[in-house]
Structure 1
Amino acid sequence: MEGTPDEFGSGYRLLSSVVVPRPIAWVGSYDADGTANLAPYSFFNVVSAAPPVIYFAPGGTGEDRKDSANNAIESEAFTVHVVTREFAEAMNATSAALDPDEDEFEHAGLERVDATNVHAPRIADAPVVLECELYDTQEVGHQTLVFGEVVYAHVDDGVVTDGKPDVTKLDAVGRLAGNYYATTDDRFRLERP
């Protein structure tokens, strides 16, 4: 089959089905009233290593922006949790369409603590949490890209070898399409030329 993105159902359907697996940013933030928000976004990746900048891209722009984007922009801070297999069900629970005044941490039964260096919440026992200060935003189509500079990281000793994060110890979960996810338990290694 060949054709335009719409001939495959939509641009979203095409891209979310073939750009796989996608890492998931599980974003923690506070709104102006101090209500915690926690939501997953699979339009997420690294932008730069120096400075260390990542982005997530929730749907919506302007008045239609998602709470996570609004909160990050207003507070100029957010956290990003790496979703592991252990937390997959809780991550899924936080994708529910809750009212803005409802706390997804409570909804998913997760212990919330404040981040160390930014004004944002984090999951107390998540294996990897990146604390971010707002770096920039950019609207592209119907998405708001939220860029954050990583200013502090929490990495559990269980996923560290010789003082460095060890990808072979981190059971990360990635998003496929629809209701499908993937883990990183089927790893292989190739030496770069």
Structure 2
Amino acid sequence: MKQNIGQKLALYPTPATVVGTIGEGGKVNWLLVAHIGIVSHSKMLLSIHSSHHSIKAIDETKRLSVNIIDEQFVAAADYTGTVSGAKTDKSGVLPYHLGEAGMPVIEQSPLVMECEVIDTYEIDGFKNYICTILNTYVEETMLDEKGKPDYTKLKPVLFEMPTYKYLRTGDIIGDCVKMGKAYGETLK
């Protein structure tokens, strides 16, 4: 029996990321963002509360980096979401270099995407950025034999909202499409 728990968003967990921006005077800022989604094969959505200091830099430059978190630096990543860049200089919290598009790339992050904002909309106090991916950087040891990210090695940290917990990613449980085809064969 299922219980109706009301109008609750129940799509968690989501990947935890640190968004990197470059603001006034070239200053780097970091912000933990877990409201992130896929809108096409080359576009993503970031949803950030309008009160965050990073909003100004994103709105001005229309560029940002999305740095996947792994367990190595989850505490530092979490810190970036607990203090405001308006009051605290977070540029030294995580070692970084600038990527080809000029956005900060966290050295410890196993996968980083430099993005350009192509559309913005506001809803419920959140600025929502549709971004196109300009560059994706992946640690070579995290690539499979075909040169694609291997998430069994990469193991991104997930964020779960109702309890505010971080989770590990798990094991492979099956092959997409192959499982469905095999199941379809059982229906014949």
Match of 2:184 in 1: none
1:152 deviates by 0.7
> Amino acid of the residue matched to residue 34 of structure 2?
S
1:159 deviates by 0.8
- Which residue of 49, 56, 59 corresponds with 2:46? 56
TM-score (norm 2): 0.84
- Which residue of 161, 169, 174 corresponds with 1:189? 174
What are the superposed Cα offsets for residues 124-167 of structure 1, whole Å, 9 maximum, x if unpaired?
23210000111111112211101211011110011101211112
What is the CA RMSD across the aligned residues, in angstroms? 1.8
Match of 1:10 in 2: none
What are the superposed Cα offsets for residues 74-112 of structure 1, whole Å, 9 maximum, x if unpaired?
111100011112221111111122342633242x3x212
2:13–2:159: 8 Å Cα contact kept in structure 1?
A: yes
Q: Between the two proteins, what is the percent identity of the paired residues?
A: 22
1:77–1:133: 8 Å Cα contact kept in structure 2?
A: yes
Name the SS of the counterpart of 1:168 in structure 2.
helix
Distance in 2, matches of 1:135 and 1:104, equals 26
Distance in 1, matches of 2:58 and 2:134, equals 15
1:120 deviates by 2.1
- Which residue of 93, 117, 129 corresponds with 1:146? 129
Match of 1:124 in 2: 107
1:53 deviates by 1.0
Match of 1:2 in 2: 4
Larger radius of gyration: 2
2:29–2:85: 8 Å Cα contact kept in structure 1?
A: no
- Which residue of 137, 154, 159 corresponds with 2:142? 159
Structure 1: segments with no counterpart, 5+ residues:
6-13
TM-score (norm 1): 0.82
Match of 1:174 in 2: 158
2:61 aligned with 1:75: yes
2:96–2:107: 8 Å Cα contact kept in structure 1?
A: yes
